[in-house]
């Protein structure tokens, strides 16, 4: 599970980097730039959710030890 979370996090970071190249800072909310902004926000949400999952698995593992 740890490897899967790491791989998905790396994919999300790569999506952010790719979509950052598509941004047009003069017109952020028009056309392709708007799609890039939405994809960046979605990837950031995915990273946050994956880190929450990672931490919950870590806590679960610690509770099983006790």
pLDDT tens per residue across span 2-33: 999 999 999 999 999 999 999 999 998 888 99
pLDDT of residue 7: 97
pLDDT above 80: residue 66: no
pLDDT of residue 20: 96
Name the pTM for this structure.
0.88
pLDDT of residue 52: 97
> What is the number of alpha carbons within 13 Å of residue 24 lying toward its C-beta?
9
pLDDT of residue 55: 97
**Domain range for 37:** 2-65
**Closest Cα to residue 15, out of 45, 51, 52?**
45
Give the integer Cα–Cα distance in Å for 12 and 53.
Answer: 15
Give the integer Cα–Cα distance in Å for 55 and 57.
Answer: 5
Q: How many domains does the chain have?
A: 1
């Amino acid at each position: 599970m740890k490897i899967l979370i790491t791989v998905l996090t790396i994919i999300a970071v790569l999506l952010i980097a790719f979509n950052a190249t598509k941004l047009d800072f003069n017109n952020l909310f028009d056309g392709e730039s708007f799609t890039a902004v939405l994809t960046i926000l979605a990837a950031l949400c995915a990273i946050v959710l994956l880190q929450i999952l990672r931490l919950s698995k870590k806590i679960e593992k610690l509770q099983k030890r006790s």
